[in-house]
């Protein structure tokens, strides 16, 4: 899938926007890095932001944005990463809009499709404004030791306005914001014990823990309470003056450092190598699974598979007693295994011979926020000569029709039965599901020839393969765009 066709769902100001990756990244780089930075720094930022977004996308196995279940990512820099619309960029840059936009678009296009991988997975390419002279290791900030997010020296960010800053605070404000009583802080000052004492500092100078008026708190608690820009902290107790170095969590790419290194001749690839160490730059499409094939085509998608009937509802019954409920359950289980092997999360409405209401089937799919719903059946008719394969979708559902067309085509090609076509019906499971939904009638169990086929494990395997192929092809066409039925 090319970057031009790759779509993602972005949660912005209460709405979910569908946009191409290139346009999205231009808005991210505009929000996250000054447009006046060196082109090679902007390219490094584009790669970091692309990887950060791809890692969250359901298409690549991510969990999406927790603030909006239907979105891949949001535009809050405090939660995901920033993003500016073209209108906001024009407001920000004024007469420089055209030149700045062109410069950023070039950075996105020059790195098209490039992300960082580590051990076969998209790397978590976090970034920050200013490190203060040395980046921090992820383990000291978030508790997870990430091999490509370890501390490195950074000597080219001294032009940052955040390289070091002084922050004065009164004794009363310190007491109020840390929750330590004013009386306690005053007592400490009179008995000669230092008001502030460092307890633990990382090798990259991150303040991990300290004592305030004799009470132990974490560096993160202090930073949050006093709204300090980073955890590289020193202080002057005579005036209660904090001196901070850097801005942000200080893990991964240092943006001002990237600009400095670029101005000293580093390429975007060399900059990324410096900050992300053992991670490798690759194209999204180039990553392979263990079998040597392409990336799992259904990774990140959710498929609801509904074996028809069950329990006391046997469905149609063949001349030799073959029951629809048993046939479709077997095909559904085969399909589930195949979908899972392709990276999909499968939600079965039933995995054994139990009775289910139509409402329960629909609720199961809707609560799973499935991307597709497929109900599997074997047809029946009082005319024993009736035969062939057909697929249903809900009337007026364009996505449902497209899905049904693809499934029907695959079943006819692989099963070789009479083509009864794609039809519409207001079946409950098609009417009330919140995603593209179809009902597939594999063959007529009431027809002697087709009952024999449906009783054959090889034919059921072919049916599962046909459904898998149809689902995969349809998924790749729409790239998981969230569109109502």
| pLDDT tens string 447-469 | 999 999 999 999 999 999 999 99
Domain assignment present for 30: yes
Residue 237: per-residue pLDDT: 65
Which listed residue (410, 441, 450, 451) is catalytic? 441
> Which sign, positive or negative, has the C-alpha torsion 196, 202, 206, 208?
negative
The alpha-carbon radius of gyration of the chain (Å, integer) is 29
Q: Do 452 and 318 belong to one domain? A: yes
> Which sign, positive or negative, has the C-alpha torsion 346, 62, 296, 479?
positive
| pTM, to two decimals | 0.53
In our burial notation (b when 16+ CB lie closer than 10 A, e otherwise), range 350-381 reads beeeeebeeeebbebbeebbbbbbbbbbbbbe
Q: Do 138 and 209 belong to one domain? A: no
Q: Do 468 and 434 belong to one domain? A: yes
Report the distance separating Cα 184 and Cα 190, nearest Å: 10
Report the distance separating Cα 11 and Cα 70, nearest Å: 9
Average pLDDT over residues 175-187: 65
Domain assignment present for 297: no
Report the distance separating Cα 397 and Cα 471, nearest Å: 17
Is the per-residue pLDDT at 356 higher than 60? yes
Which tokens sit at 348?
């079965």
**Structural domains counted in the chain:** 3
Q: Do 260 and 382 belong to one domain? A: no
Query: Exposed, middle or buried, 298 (CB in 10 Å: 0-12/13-18/19+)?
Result: buried
Q: Do 356 and 464 belong to one domain? A: yes
Report the distance separating Cα 435 and Cα 414, nearest Å: 26
Domain assignment present for 295: no
Residue 60: per-residue pLDDT: 77
**What is the CATH number for 327?**
3.40.630.40
Report the distance separating Cα 265 and Cα 391, nearest Å: 61
Report the distance separating Cα 381 and Cα 386, nearest Å: 7
Domain assignment present for 71: yes
Q: Do 364 and 267 belong to one domain? A: no
Domain boundary among 244, 261, 277: 244
Is the per-residue pLDDT at 339 higher than 50? yes
Q: Do 262 and 281 belong to one domain? A: yes
Domain assignment present for 294: no
Q: Do 271 and 306 belong to one domain? A: no
Residue 99: per-residue pLDDT: 96
Average pLDDT over residues 299-325: 94
Domain boundary among 194, 222, 244: 244
Work out the pLDDT band at 291, boundaries 50, 70, 90: very low
Work out the pLDDT band at 376, boundaries 50, 70, 90: very high
Domain assignment present for 15: yes
Residue 428: per-residue pLDDT: 96
Which tokens sit at 98?
């055209």
Is the per-residue pLDDT at 220 higher than 50? yes
Domain assignment present for 78: yes
The upper half-sphere exposure of residue 146, i.e. CA atoms within 13 Å in the direction of its Cβ, equals 25
Domain boundary among 234, 262, 286: 286
Work out the pLDDT band at 187, boundaries 50, 70, 90: low
Q: Do 173 and 221 belong to one domain? A: yes
Query: Exposed, middle or buried, 71 (CB in 10 Å: 0-12/13-18/19+)?
Result: buried
Average pLDDT over residues 140-147: 91
Domain assignment present for 229: yes
Average pLDDT over residues 305-316: 96
Per residue, the 3-state secondary structure of 219-246, as one string, reads HHHHHHHHCCCCCEEEEECCCCEEEEEC
Instruction: Give residue 14's Cα distance to chain centre.
Output: 18
Percent of the chain topping pLDDT 90: 61
Q: Do 261 and 308 belong to one domain? A: no
Residue 426: per-residue pLDDT: 95
Q: Which residues pair with 440 in a beta bridge?
A: 376, 391
Q: Is 441 a catalytic residue?
A: yes
Work out the pLDDT band at 59, boundaries 50, 70, 90: confident
Work out the pLDDT band at 284, boundaries 50, 70, 90: confident
Residue 104: per-residue pLDDT: 96
Q: Do 277 and 419 belong to one domain? A: no
Is the Cβ–Cβ distance between 361 and 390 less than 8 Å? no
For every residue of 284-347, DSSP letters joined together read: GGG-B-TTSSBSPTTTT-EEEEEE--BTTB---B-TT--BHHHHHHHHHHHHHHHHHHTT-EEE
Range of the domain at 203: 164-244
Is the per-residue pLDDT at 213 higher than 80? no
Q: Do 13 and 59 belong to one domain? A: yes
Q: Which residues pair with 65 in a beta bridge?
A: 68
């Amino acid at each position: 899938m090319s970057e031009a066709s790759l779509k993602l769902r972005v949660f912005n100001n209460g709405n979910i926007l569908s946009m191409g990756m290139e346009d999205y990244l231009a808005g991210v780089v505009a929000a996250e890095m000054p447009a006046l930075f060196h082109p090679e720094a902007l390219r490094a930022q584009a790669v970091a932001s692309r990887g950060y977004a791809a890692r969250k996308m359901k298409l690549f196995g991510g969990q999406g944005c927790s603030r909006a279940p239907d979105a891949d990512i949001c535009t809050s820099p405090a939660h995901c990463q920033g993003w500016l619309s073209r209108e906001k960029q024009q407001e920000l840059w004024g007469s420089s809009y055209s030149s700045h936009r062109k410069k950023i678009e070039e950075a996105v296009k020059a790195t098209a499709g490039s992300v960082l991988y580590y051990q076969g997975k998209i790397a978590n390419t976090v970034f920050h404004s200013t490190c203060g002279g040395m980046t921090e290791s992820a383990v000291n900030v978030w508790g997870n030791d990430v091999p490509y997010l370890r501390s490195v020296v950074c000597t080219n960010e001294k032009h940052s306005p955040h390289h070091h800053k002084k922050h004065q605070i009164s004794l009363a404000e310190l007491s109020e914001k840390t929750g330590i009583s004013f009386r306690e802080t005053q007592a400490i000052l009179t008995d000669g014990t230092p008001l502030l004492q460092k307890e633990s500092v990382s090798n990259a100078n991150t303040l991990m823990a300290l004592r305030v008026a004799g009470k132990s708190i974490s560096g993160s608690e202090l930073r949050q309470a006093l709204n300090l820009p980073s955890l590289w902290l020193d202080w002057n107790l005579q005036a209660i003056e904090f001196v901070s170095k850097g801005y942000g969590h200080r893990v991964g790419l240092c943006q001002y450092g990237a600009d400095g290194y670029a101005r000293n001749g580093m390429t975007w690839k060399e900059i990324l190598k410096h900050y992300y160490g053992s991670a490798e730059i690759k194209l999204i499409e180039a990553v392979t699974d263990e079998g040597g094939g392409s990336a799992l085509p259904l990774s990140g998608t959710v498929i609801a598979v509904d074996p028809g009937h069950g329990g006391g509802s046997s469905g149609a019954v063949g001349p030799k007693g073959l029951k629809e409920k048993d046939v479709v359950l077997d095909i559904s289980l085969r399909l589930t295994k195949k979908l899972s092997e392709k990276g999909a999360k499968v939600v079965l409405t039933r995995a054994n011979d139990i009775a289910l209401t139509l409402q329960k089937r629909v609720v199961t799919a809707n609560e799973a926020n499935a991307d597709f719903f497929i109900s599997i059946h074997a047809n029946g008719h009082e005319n024993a000569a009736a035969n062939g394969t057909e697929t249903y979708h809900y009337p007026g559902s364009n996505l449902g029709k497209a899905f049904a067309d693809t499934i029907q085509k695959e079943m006819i090609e692989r099963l070789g039965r009479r083509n009864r076509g794609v039809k519409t019906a207001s079946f409950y499971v098609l009417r009330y599901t919140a995603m593209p939904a179809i009902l597939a009638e594999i063959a007529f169990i009431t027809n002697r020839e087709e009952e024999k086929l449906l009783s054959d494990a090889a034919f059921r395997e072919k049916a599962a393969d046909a459904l898998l192929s149809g689902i995969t092809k349809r998924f790749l066409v729409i790239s998981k765009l969230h569109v109502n039925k």
